[in-house]
Amino acid sequence: MSVRLLSVWCLLLGPLVWLGCNGSGGTSGGAPSADEIVIGHYAAMSGAQATFGQSTDNGIRLALEEINAAGGVNGKKLRLITYDDKGDTKEAGAAVTRLITRDKVVAVLGEVASSLSLAGAPVCQEHGVPMITPSSTNPQVTQVGDKIFRVCFIDPFQGYVTAKYIRELPTPVSRVAILYDQANAYSVGLAQEFEKALTRLGGTITTRQTYSEGDQDFSAQLTAIRGSNPEMVFIPGYYSDVGNIALQARKLGITVPLFGGDGWTSPRLTEIAGSALEGCFFSEHYSQEDPNPKIQNFVRKYAEKYGSKPDGLAALGYDAARLLADAMTRARSLSGDDLAAAIAATRDFDGVTGTFSIDADRNAVKPAVILKIVNGQVRYEATVTPESP
């Protein structure tokens, strides 16, 4: 009996092992050879947040491909090793340790989610390896130490951008309801920063409602929001939830515009929500429609390679990788200290997500754009630049 079972399972296992061996060929480790530079990337390639990791990874790979095609960095090719952390902090720490101590990467890229970046960052800091997070917007991430950088803006700025935008509309909006994901650090942080900015700019919050990752029914919260009669509803969540929220809000008769942050970025957003998000808007790192040839070039190449338009995360992954390569050419050597110094010295870097500099807190100072959904298409609406201090 057990022999029979065993053989059945061998049959099952065989193809998987084969697939696994084939699949790992491109990414697997080994000590770096003399004519290449190894870069590590840790991201959620599986699990609930897999789309974020995959987009970012696509962006990074595209950037490296271009850099290598143009001759690499100082004559050396760049090679990327990506490890999956399943969106789990424990795995993130282990993945970064493996990248640094076994694969001897010179720098680490990742993560999207701030809580995972906060798990990986101390390991990089401890080993003196620079880390650039493409899209963790929580301010605490770069406060971990002097080796941790980011190429995106931070939540206080994003909150300010959206608040400023709605206060400066032709008819300023003052009554806003917030619905955020309390299980998601990004969502909580952005909600708080937005509330601060809005109250400072003279608006009021009519009600604060929360949901948790995994909720599918938002009618209780939306009914409460409907009862508070807001002029707009702020939803700083991920697009997968936003789609459902929008659909349910419209069904409950909430007709006011909804708006959010960069978590909305995905080609699937309008597909899921359909017409429910008509007239809604969100803050984003860049706009695909920007006529700037640099951006159009990127969008076209990305679409050729992956068959879809790049979202904000792909663009940030692309910029993070290019910034890193740029810093490598400027750095005196590829040691952690020199490389970190070169990254910190980045000024007016010309990325697809805008021209930006790295400030003293190792954050990128850059403008944000507001994108609006018109006729089911995401359209560029406005650019908001940082306040000069």
Contacting another protein within 95-154 (CB under 8 A):
95-98, 100-102, 114-115, 118-120, 122-123, 126, 138, 140, 144
Q: According to CB under 8 A, which one of 32, 36, 50, 257 is a site residue for another protein?
A: 50
As measured in angstroms, the least distance from the Cβ of 332 to another protein is 26
Of residues 252 through 311, those in contact with another protein by CB under 8 A are 252-253, 266, 268, 271-274
Distance in angstroms (rounded) separating the CA atoms of residues 52 and 9: 33
In the bound state with another protein, the residue whose beta carbon lies nearer, of 169 and 183, is: 183
In the bound state with another protein, the residue whose beta carbon lies nearer, of 117 and 346, is: 117
In the bound state with another protein, the residue whose beta carbon lies nearer, of 260 and 354, is: 260
Total of chain residues touching another protein, rule CB under 8 A: 93
In the bound state with another protein, the residue whose beta carbon lies nearer, of 247 and 344, is: 247
Of residues 207 through 226, those in contact with another protein by CB under 8 A are 209-217, 219-221, 223-224, 226
Q: Other CB atoms closer than 10 Å to residue 116's CB: what's the count?
A: 31
HEC secondary structure over 41-60: EEECCCCCCHHHHHHHHHHH
In the bound state with another protein, the residue whose beta carbon lies nearer, of 20 and 71, is: 20
With CB under 8 A as the contact rule, which of the stretches 65-73, 185-193, 318-326, 368-376 interacts with another protein? 185-193
In the bound state with another protein, the residue whose beta carbon lies nearer, of 9 and 359, is: 9
Of residues 227 through 256, those in contact with another protein by CB under 8 A are 227-229, 239-241, 243-244, 247-248, 251-253
Beta bridge partners of 357: 365
Tokens 């424990």, located at residue: 90
As measured in angstroms, the least distance from the Cβ of 21 to another protein is 8
If one asks whether residue 5 binds another protein (CB under 8 A), the answer comes out as yes
The amino acid sitting at 37 is I
If one asks whether residue 363 binds another protein (CB under 8 A), the answer comes out as no
Are the beta carbons of 195 and 205 closer than 8 angstroms? yes
As measured in angstroms, the least distance from the Cβ of 97 to another protein is 5
Q: Which two tokens stand for residue 64?
A: 């490296």
In the bound state with another protein, the residue whose beta carbon lies nearer, of 67 and 254, is: 254
Q: According to CB under 8 A, which one of 33, 71, 74, 90 is a site residue for another protein?
A: 90
Residues 6+ apart with CB under 8 A from 335: none
In the bound state with another protein, the residue whose beta carbon lies nearer, of 122 and 279, is: 122
- Please return the burial class of 146, using the count of CB atoms within 10 Å of its CB with bins 0-12, 13-18 and 19+: middle
If one asks whether residue 47 binds another protein (CB under 8 A), the answer comes out as yes
If one asks whether residue 167 binds another protein (CB under 8 A), the answer comes out as no
As measured in angstroms, the least distance from the Cβ of 152 to another protein is 17
As measured in angstroms, the least distance from the Cβ of 329 to another protein is 29
With CB under 8 A as the contact rule, which of the stretches 68-76, 78-86, 282-290, 334-342 interacts with another protein? 78-86
Reduced to 3 states, what is the DSSP secondary structure of residue 369? Answer: strand
Are the beta carbons of 258 and 239 closer than 8 angstroms? no
If one asks whether residue 68 binds another protein (CB under 8 A), the answer comes out as no
Distance in angstroms (rounded) separating the CA atoms of residues 318 and 112: 13
Q: Other CB atoms closer than 10 Å to residue 260's CB: what's the count?
A: 32
Tell me the pairing of strands 131-133 and 377-384. unpaired
Q: Other CB atoms closer than 10 Å to residue 262's CB: what's the count?
A: 27
Q: Which two tokens stand for residue 341?
A: 């110094």
Distance in angstroms (rounded) separating the CA atoms of residues 325 and 335: 14
